[in-house]
A and B are shown apart, each in its own frame.
Chain A
């Protein structure tokens, strides 16, 4: 089984600044994938970024990047140049054997 932990229930960031959301996970598997999903008030879960565990290079998607520390089992999300539209719940998720395991989420507030 895999567990995912997000220890920051809520965070705030000023528009145009940078924020980092934390996530730790626990798995005994060597082959797995990690994801960050965004869930705005509209409810639909939207993929933000994906990381393959066997790749050492950190994934990047435009203003979003991850800091993947495999030995520490840490998978944080950095959002640069924060925008008002980034305000949402962010969920860290692990994937193994066709199952997704989600953390409890971090609510991100973006202040104008």
Chain B
């Protein structure tokens, strides 16, 4: 039973560029959430996708956008990269109707902005 998988593992970009991160949810899960985790901090909620729509959004600018595909996989896109976007980006999956059930996390993508 495959867990949550994220790609790539590590990415280096320069300021102003755009980046796309990918996530495949755990088998049986239909909801994907994205988090940004700065060094030494807890994960901060970016947004959540269910049925190919953004359902909830945290306090992040419009430079952060996403998409969910019919197979429940998801992408996180970040435009006009800033140095402050350097962080570990975590994807978590869950079952929409599983109220209060824990999210399952991937290993994350480490994004470094030069």
Contacts and interface: CB of A to CB of B under 8 A. Distances in A.
Q: Do A and B belong to a common assembly? A: yes
A99 B59 CA distance: 13
A91 B103 CA distance: 13
| Among B35, B44, B56, B102, residue most surrounded by chain A Cβ atoms (within 10 Å) | B102
A6 B40 CA distance: 13
A52 B100 contact: yes
Contacts of A75: none
B56 A98 contact: yes
Contacts, number: 55
Interface in A32-69: 32-33, 35, 37, 42-47, 50, 52
Nearest to A101: B45
B97 to A, nearest CB: 10
Given A98-B55, A98-B56, A104 B100 contact: no
Given A45-B105, A99-B48, A105 B55 contact: no
A105 B105 contact: no
B8 to A, nearest CB: 13
Main secondary structure of the interface of A (DSSP, over half): strand
Contacts of B90: 45
Contacts of B40: 104-105
A4 B41 CA distance: 12
Interface residues of A, number: 25
A25 interface: no
Contacts of B100: 32-33, 50, 52, 95
Contacts of A95: 100
A35 B56 CA distance: 20
Contact of B56 (A50, A91, A99, A102): A99
Given A99-B45, A100-B103, 9 more contacts: A6-B42, A33-B100, A35-B102, A42-B107, A43-B110, A44-B105, A45-B92, A95-B100, A98-B48
Interface of A: 4, 6, 32-33, 35, 37, 42-47, 50, 52, 91, 95, 97-105
